[in-house]
Structure 1
Amino acid sequence: MPAIRRYAVCGLSARGLASFVLPILGLSDRTADGGFGYGVDVDDLSQYAEVVAIVDTDADRVAEFNASLETPIPYFADYDEMLKTVVPDAVIVTSPDHTHAEYILGALRHGIDVVSEKPMVTTAAAAREVLAAERASGGGVQVTHNFRYVAAHREVKRLIQSGTIGRVTRVVMDYHVDLRHGASYFLRWNRRRELSGGLQVHKSSHHFDLLNWWIGEAPEEIFGYGALNYYGPSSPHRAARAEDPYFLAQQGSGVFPADSQVRAGLFGLHYPGQYPADRPLYLYDAEIDVEDTYSAVARYPGGAMLTYSIDFSSTWEGFRLSIAGTHGSIDLLHGRTVDGAPLPDSDRIRVAELFGPTRVVEVAAEQGGHGGADPRMRHDLFAGPSPESVELGLLATSTEAAYAVAMGDALAQSATTHRPVNLPALLTP
């Protein structure tokens, strides 16, 4: 048996708890879904890892969690103090996006490995700094781009990698975030660009990484537009809470805070520091400065072209994908209604040869968070990569994660300047 690695968790977020802390403690059966795709996972990672410290700015939230454990986890408000006194083998970064760079760079300065939630950081400049720090450090960075691990996505990669459609020439992804899920981003810290990098980074970096992985290379240029159409002070749906159509559409879903404004997340844990009850957030606040709709085109060195669009107030959740190659095409619809019912033909991969037959590849659903992706990803991270993971390149490198961030950052820049942005230039020292 390999030695158990010692991990410090930076940010006791819902994602940090559901995907890392509870599985490492062997308590993942306590995880509740809550409507945001965390799922109910039962994998036990305690034979591979242990949590030796928690770093968070919200001492009350950590204390509430520790009170539920037989053995509390040491808590630190000061990150550098934790690194010096605990000296973990690695840190797991699951804090708000704008804090990732501080935690990653601090660990690398001490030669400590990092497992970071996506997006790795919020700007291309910060991504460039992380890559430089990693080159100078004895520590390494892995980023949890779990979207690669979904069964249908692995099958698409396998089809492309085997040459089924030849060289990829054109990719189109039309992504939709339903009105419940989409509204939730505008009731959290994600709605401020300084904290999230904009949803072009926070959300779309997941999609950009997946698309780059399928295409098999990093893009060289991107151009795009963005707009705030549904939320913020100019929303056409702006109304008092009792008449707010988003609120009325989501009653009982758990997306909106309670009338008291007290926020409760997984297993009832509260957010007294991050979301004080006396400072309520509404969908139409003036501080909202991120877009809820945008489109982009990108070019790749090998000749592939990408068209990507997304909106955050849709009547359904999911995406339509079309991948064209020199010898055929792949089409996939993945989606569900606002109430969770799968769309007809969802997750059936249509493969058409240019001068041959068309067939449908059925992909069996897998159990676990994010469509079965999270358990597979955790196994790769903590127990070691599986043969399939090595074959498909499932674990995202820091460079791949940096390009996903740079694409989102560059899209925001392009929407402002109305000019294309060279991506390698953003990441070159």
Structure 2
Amino acid sequence: MKRRNFIAASAGIAAGTSILSNPVGAAVAGNNKKKVVLVGTGSRGTSFWGKRIVDNYSDLVAFVGLCDINPGRLELAKKYMGVDCPVYTDFDKMIAETKPDLVMVTTMDSNHHEFIIRSMELGVDVLTEKPITTDETKLQAILDAEKRTGKKCIVGFNMRYATLPTALKEFLVKKPVGKITSVDFHWYLNVYHGASYFRRWHGERDKGGTLLVHKATHHFDILNWFIDSDPVEITAYGALEHYGKNNSFRGANCRNCAYTDKCQYYWDITKDKRSMELYVANEKYDGYIRDNCLWREQIDIYDKMSLQIKYANDIVVNYSLTTYSPYEGWRIAFNGKEGRVESWSGIPWRRQEKINQATLHAAEMNQEDQGEIDHDEIFVMNNFDREHQILKIRAGQGGHGGGDSRLQDKIFRYPDMSDPLKHAAGTRDGAMSCLIGIAARKSIDEKRPVRIEELTDIKPHPTRGNCS
């Protein structure tokens, strides 16, 4: 078998995809800065939607208020972000006094709907962290509020904007292997990143909706985007077989544990300055423990998950999420009538590199560049062609394959830039991605296939371009 190799730069395979580079002549906001407020001052809020915005968009954006139930974190947020604005524990009061142009919601997932809906009712557009919400009742309330108020919600899906997914999307539009009939998609969380979810509030389903909603909403969103269709039915399997009660010992938390010498998952939070300042120093206000024992009995989410998703255009997806892998990465394959397209990221043997998984996780948690990687690859093979192609995509630099900067550029610096591949995600995108996770959770609990139409009044369409 012969192999044809060629290089595609970050804007090469995606020629014409202006999201991958600053567009010439793009409209920049006028002299008046966009007034924004942030509700939820945890790690994600104060870093990705806080300090990062201050550092890169202060010429366009001004923080006029911060809100949280934890007064200690509020004061730390001001210092960390480098802003001098009022802080509030009363959301309505903040909106009334600051009159923002945009509310950014980065609270616990289960509370997203409260601030999305209230912002719309108070006449303000919203930007929310993923997932948009955690169950179908809350989601329907958001959809109803959007119709009632006419306000809009942006969902912060940065994975769409990364170089490799963008290159895959543009390549798939060309139909290189004919009509796609099925997709295989598998995601692996390493024992550092995967375990971190079970230490945090994400380990309890009433707060994060399970990882099928909190984490996998990213994955389901790019599936919907790649396939350009809506999901119609989900059959899922899941269980809690590793973390939680599945251990012979447990402690109060990592700081107060008698088993640190025998627990491979022991995490010394005292060596993490940011976590000590943000969480430990402020436990007294809300009782949130950041280094909770991942063997605690209260954990009630799944740590292994497998789904089959049927789409309105008859594509079938097989998806899995593993939460205790020795490495962090993903694999995806598109099976067409004329061949197969495969790609991957972070799979060690594909690069023949030894990757420090703990360092990789620390970089992700701190919103840092995860290191220099020369290129990613897309493998293409036609059914009756003895040759195959490997498209080498110059890897994007910066957080999440360059996706972080491009997402925020689109929102704050170049909101009117062309978007031929429809990177920008709105309420319906957020809804469809979390509905897959919600349906999967319901399928596991009730041991049956679940149709999307059972959950809200959204009607799936075979082609997403026909959706409003």
- Shorter-chain TM-score above 0.5: yes
Query: What is the match of residue 389 of structure 2?
Result: 359
Q: CA separation in 2, counterparts of 1:209 and 1:277? A: 30
In structure 2, what residue type is equivalent to 1:55? C
The CA deviation string for residues 112-162 of structure 1, in whole angstroms up to 9 with x for no partner, is: 100000001111221122112111113100101111111111011001112
Matches within 5 A, 1:115-130: 115-130=127-142
Query: What is the match of residue 242 of structure 1?
Result: 260
Q: CA separation in 2, counterparts of 1:103 and 1:244? A: 43
CA 360–71 in structure 1, closer or farther in 2 if over 3 Å, else same:
closer
The match for 1:270 among 264, 279, 296 is 279
Tell me if 1:224 matches 2:236: yes
The match for 2:400 among 351, 360, 370 is 370
In structure 1, what residue type is equivalent to 2:241? N
Tell me if 1:168 matches 2:215: no
In structure 2, what residue type is equivalent to 1:214? F
The percentage of counterpart residues that share the same residue type is 29
Aligned-partner SS, 2:241? coil
Quick check: 1:218–1:400 contact (8 Å CA) kept in 2?
A: no
Quick check: 1:112–1:138 contact (8 Å CA) kept in 2?
A: no
Query: What is the match of residue 43 of structure 2?
Result: 14
- Per the TM alignment, residue 18 of structure 1 is displaced from its structure 2 partner at its CA by 2.0
Aligned-partner SS, 1:171? strand
Q: CA separation in 2, counterparts of 1:353 and 1:75? A: 59
In structure 1, what residue type is equivalent to 2:410? D
In structure 2, what residue type is equivalent to 1:108? M
Quick check: 1:333–1:346 contact (8 Å CA) kept in 2?
A: no
The CA deviation string for residues 158-182 of structure 1, in whole angstroms up to 9 with x for no partner, is: 0111222222210111111000111
Query: What is the match of residue 54 of structure 1?
Result: 66
Q: CA separation in 2, counterparts of 1:83 and 1:288? A: 35
CA 315–69 in structure 1, closer or farther in 2 if over 3 Å, else same:
closer
Quick check: 1:222–1:420 contact (8 Å CA) kept in 2?
A: yes
- Per the TM alignment, residue 65 of structure 1 is displaced from its structure 2 partner at its CA by 3.1
* TM-score normalized by the length of structure 2: 0.80
Matches within 5 A, 1:30-429: 44-67=56-79, 72-235=84-247, 240-247=258-265, 256-258=268-270, 264-265=273-274, 268-271=277-280, 272-273=282-283, 276=287, 281-335=292-346, 336=348, 337=355, 338-339=357-358, 347-356=376-385, 357-385=387-415, 390-428=419-457
Q: CA separation in 2, counterparts of 1:399 and 1:69? A: 31
Query: What is the match of residue 35 of structure 1?
Result: none
The CA deviation string for residues 55-97 of structure 1, in whole angstroms up to 9 with x for no partner, is: 1111111112324576522101011111222121110011111
CA 305–22 in structure 1, closer or farther in 2 if over 3 Å, else same:
same
Q: Which runs of 5+ in 1 are unaligned?
A: 27-43, 249-254
Q: CA separation in 2, counterparts of 1:330 and 1:14? A: 37
- Per the TM alignment, residue 280 of structure 1 is displaced from its structure 2 partner at its CA by 6.2
Q: CA separation in 2, counterparts of 1:397 and 1:70? A: 29
Q: CA separation in 1, counterparts of 2:83 and 2:343? A: 47
Q: CA separation in 2, counterparts of 1:285 and 1:200? A: 20
Aligned-partner SS, 1:186? helix
The CA deviation string for residues 171-230 of structure 1, in whole angstroms up to 9 with x for no partner, is: 111111000111111111101111000111001111010111100111000011111111
CA 267–230 in structure 1, closer or farther in 2 if over 3 Å, else same:
closer
Aligned-partner SS, 1:371? coil
Q: CA separation in 2, counterparts of 1:267 and 1:48? A: 32
In structure 1, what residue type is equivalent to 2:152? G
Q: Which runs of 5+ in 2 are unaligned?
A: 1-28, 252-257, 349-354, 361-370, 459-468
> What is the total number of aligned residue pairs between the two structures?
401
Aligned-partner SS, 1:374? helix
In structure 1, what residue type is equivalent to 2:439? A
- Per the TM alignment, residue 410 of structure 1 is displaced from its structure 2 partner at its CA by 1.0
CA 21–267 in structure 1, closer or farther in 2 if over 3 Å, else same:
farther
- Per the TM alignment, residue 416 of structure 1 is displaced from its structure 2 partner at its CA by 1.2
Q: CA separation in 2, counterparts of 1:236 and 1:314? A: 21
In structure 1, what residue type is equivalent to 2:426? T
Q: CA separation in 2, counterparts of 1:211 and 1:64? A: 38
CA 70–149 in structure 1, closer or farther in 2 if over 3 Å, else same:
closer
